[in-house]
Amino acid sequence: MLSIERKDLLKNIEQSYAEGYTYLVKITAVDYVKTINLIYILRSLDKNQDKILEVILDPADLSVETITHIYQGADWYEREMQEMFGIKIKGRRAKRLLLEKWDGKGYPLRKNFEWGKSYEKE
C-alpha cells in the first residue's frame, strides 16, 4: 500500500492510469477516529496486478478531489464516501444521493455515529 498526501492524490491516480491501472476496483474508507483513511484499489488487467493508494485525512478537513474524470465508476464510491463518512468530494457533478430517504446529518459508517439517535438534516 502506498500512502500519499491528499494534495498528490490526482497526480498519483493519473500516473497510475497511465501505467496501465485502468480498472478501479474500489474506493473505501476506514475511520480510525483520529484520522479517516481513504483507500483506492486500482487494477492493471494487463499485468494482473493491483495497486493500493491510501490518503490519510484529518477529521477537521474531510475533502478530496473527484476522480470521476479518470474513472467514471468512481461516482458510486464517491457518493458512498460522502453519505456514509461525511467526506466532501470536490468537483463532483452528480448530486443525487444513494440514500434518497436519508434525513440525517450523521454518518453511519463513522465510529461516533449513534444508532437510534435522531439526526437532523444539514
The confidence score (pLDDT) of residue 9 equals 97
The confidence score (pLDDT) of residue 104 equals 60
Q: Which residue has the cell 460522502?
A: 82
In this prediction, residue 112 has a pLDDT band, given cuts at 50, 70 and 90, of confident
Would you say residue 82 has pLDDT above 80? Answer: yes
Report the alpha-carbon distance of residue 21 to residue 24 in Å, rounded: 8
Task: State the fold for domain 2-90.
Answer: Beta Polymerase; domain 2 (3.30.460)
Q: 28 to each of 18, 37, 58, how far by Cα in Å?
A: 22, 8, 16
Average pLDDT, the chain: 89
In this prediction, residue 115 has a pLDDT band, given cuts at 50, 70 and 90, of confident
Which tens digit of pLDDT belongs to each residue from 36-81? 999 999 999 999 999 999 999 998 999 999 999 999 999 999 999 9
Q: What pTM was computed for the model?
A: 0.88
Burial class for 25, CB neighbours closer than 10 Å (0-12, 13-18, 19+): middle
In this prediction, residue 13 has a pLDDT band, given cuts at 50, 70 and 90, of very high
Three-state DSSP class for residue 106: coil
Report the alpha-carbon distance of residue 105 to residue 75 in Å, rounded: 21
- How many Cβ atoms are within 10 Å of 20's Cβ, its own excluded? 15
Would you say residue 122 has pLDDT above 90? Answer: no
Report the alpha-carbon distance of residue 38 to residue 27 in Å, rounded: 7
> What's the DSSP call for residue 16?
H
- The domains of the chain are located at 2-90
